[in-house]
């Protein structure tokens, strides 16, 4: 088998992530207790705030907390107290306290792939927060290189290709997000593997970019990667 460059997303590809943000949102919606808006409608307001702020401040639990505070200030039907804003922020801060829960089949599959191919971890988010998750996951040893970026767009992939001297014809981006993992990687000339996750963040949803035969794969589980690599 020809040795390949396998580039992996982290959140919701290697370990659970968005489920903790959704639990924090559920607690926020219960605390807000809006008289007319459903939780889904409150979520739509938060989505708009997150979409705007992510372009400026990026991602991570702290920024999520600030987004919750902004949503609270916009939607609260009672006097906004400092204690309330601190409580809203604490809902997001609890995310950092959650254990790193590896997705089924991840560690065994990485152990299988690491001797056969060159593995890179390519993730976006708050650098310190992402490094902490990598350390706590115990998976760092499987990767020859780790890169943490503010946004995973085509420009970021092109920079990674240049920085790591990757051969696009032998490089596959593997992840759960069409918006951040699949489409920009294909745009940058890489190949890609979609590993769907049932709780992928709604702002990461996007129609898949059309790709020539053989440049885009979709598997059901992470362990299915063994069949191709």
Q: Could you tell me the residue range of the domain that residue 31 belongs to?
A: 18-97
Dump pLDDT digits (tens) for 61-102: 999 999 999 999 999 999 999 999 999 999 999 998 999 999
pLDDT at 212: 81
Q: Are 10 and 45 contained in the same domain?
A: no
| Count of domains observed in the chain | 2
Among 97, 121, 146, identify where a domain stops: 97
Q: Are 61 and 117 contained in the same domain?
A: no
Contact, 120 vs 145, CB < 8 A? yes
Q: Are 116 and 215 contained in the same domain?
A: yes
Q: Are 93 and 108 contained in the same domain?
A: no
Dump pLDDT digits (tens) for 125-176: 889 999 999 999 999 999 999 999 999 999 999 999 999 999 999 999 999 9
Q: Are 28 and 91 contained in the same domain?
A: yes
Backbone angles phi, psi at 150, to 5 degrees: -70, -40
Q: Are 148 and 211 contained in the same domain?
A: yes
Dump pLDDT digits (tens) for 188-211: 999 999 999 999 988 889 999 888
């Amino acid at each position: 088998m020809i040795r390949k460059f396998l580039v992996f997303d982290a959140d919701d590809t290697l370990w659970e992530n968005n489920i903790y943000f959704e639990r924090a949102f559920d607690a926020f919606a219960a605390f807000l207790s809006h008289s007319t808006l459903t939780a889904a409608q409150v979520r739509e307001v938060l989505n708009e705030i997150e979409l705007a702020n992510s372009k400026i401040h990026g991602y991570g639990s702290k920024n999520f907390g600030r987004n919750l505070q902004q949503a609270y200030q916009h939607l609260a039907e009672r006097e906004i107290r400092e204690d309330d804003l601190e409580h809203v922020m604490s809902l997001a801060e609890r995310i950092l306290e959650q254990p790193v829960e590896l997705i089924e089949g991840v560690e065994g599959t990485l152990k299988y792939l690491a001797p056969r191919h060159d593995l890179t971890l390519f993730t976006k988010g708050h650098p310190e927060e992402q490094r902490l998750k990598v350390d706590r996951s115990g998976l760092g040893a499987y990767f020859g290189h780790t890169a943490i970026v503010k946004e995973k767009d085509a420009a970021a992939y092109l920079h990674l290709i240049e920085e790591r001297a990757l051969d696009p014809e032998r490089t596959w981006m593997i992840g759960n997000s069409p918006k951040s993992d699949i489409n920009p990687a294909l745009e940058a000339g890489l190949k890609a593997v979609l590993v769907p996750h049932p709780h992928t963040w709604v702002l990461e949803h996007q129609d898949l970019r059309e790709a020539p035969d053989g440049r885009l794969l979709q598997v059901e589980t992470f362990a299915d990667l063994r069949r191709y690599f």
